[in-house]
Amino acid sequence: MDNRNYQYLDHNFDPAQTGDYTLLVRADADNFSFAITDANKLLLLSDQVDLSVLNEPAGENDLLFKNYKQQIIGVSNTGFTLIPASIFNPEKVADFARFLNVKPTEKVFSQPLDTDNQVLFKIKGDFVSVLAEKFDTKDVVFGARGWIKAVAGDGPANQYLYLNVTGNLVEILNFRDGKLRFYNNFEFMNGDELAYFSTVVASELQLPDEAVTLVLSGDINPDDQNGSRLAKFFRRVELNATCPVKLPKQLSPNSLLYLTALNLCGSSEEN
């Protein structure tokens, strides 16, 4: 066993059996979190690891760099666009990518988001290089893909807005009749800005504030500064109870949803 600190380590975890397990990684340009699952059960969790770790030599016993049955690497992006699957042509990815204003230092990935939408997203080239030191880039997926899939699987009501907060980034999601209707992300500086973006989205979707239910996950809860501010504008604010992976009682499903929902994704081929 390695010397890394873990937030959770199941007593049944067997380092010799990693070939039967799935590695989930949620990464941005500064840090990453990872989990190991066996089917739909969490075996290991390590949160907020500095990205520089991926540049270091891999220790023989480092569990992060073992061989796994499957690796799913959910990443942040510097821009994305959704294209209806009905009009998407993989031979014209370069044409679609023009919507992203791709810089020479960025790399574009293309993959299905769901049955109706293809997502094109770009990430910094040096970020790709760091990931490629230890992982296969064909295992990279759009970071929100698992979260969107998890919410969709719960049969979301039309008047529900799903918010996932990571630091000062909020992602907002809405469905109509079980189909993805809206997804976007916004950077905010305080609770007022978070409430502003949420109310603007609700207004644009023609969802009356009194009818909307906000469902929260990530770095937020109804009682903290951001959650309580949202409650001033929306009558119903609740935590997301979706749990794609079986967790021990001491871990909060809503705070880990974005990471654990990657368990619902498979590998994606890079374009």
Domain borders along the chain are 1-144, 155-241
Residue type, 12: N
pTM: 0.94
Whole-angstrom distance between the N-terminal and C-terminal Cα of the chain?
37
- Residue 25, both tokens: 């990684």
Range list of β-strands (E), the chain: 8-9, 22-27, 31-38, 41-50, 70-75, 79-84, 106-112, 117-124, 140-142, 160-166, 169-176, 179-187, 213-218, 236-239
pLDDT digit of tens for each residue in the chain (271 aa)?
566 789 999 999 999 999 999 999 999 999 999 999 999 999 999 999 999 989 888 776 689 999 999 999 999 999 999 999 999 999 999 999 988 999 999 999 999 999 999 999 999 999 999 999 999 999 999 999 999 999 999 999 999 999 999 999 999 999 999 999 999 999 999 999 999 999 999 999 999 878 999 999 999 999 999 999 999 999 999 999 999 999 999 999 999 999 999 999 964 443 3
Domains 1-144 and 155-241 share a fold: yes
Which one of 3.30.420.250, 3.40.50.2300, 3.40.50.300, 3.90.1720.10 gives the CATH number of domain 1-144?
Answer: 3.30.420.250
Does domain 155-241 fall under CATH 3.30.379.10? My reply is no
Residue type, 142: F
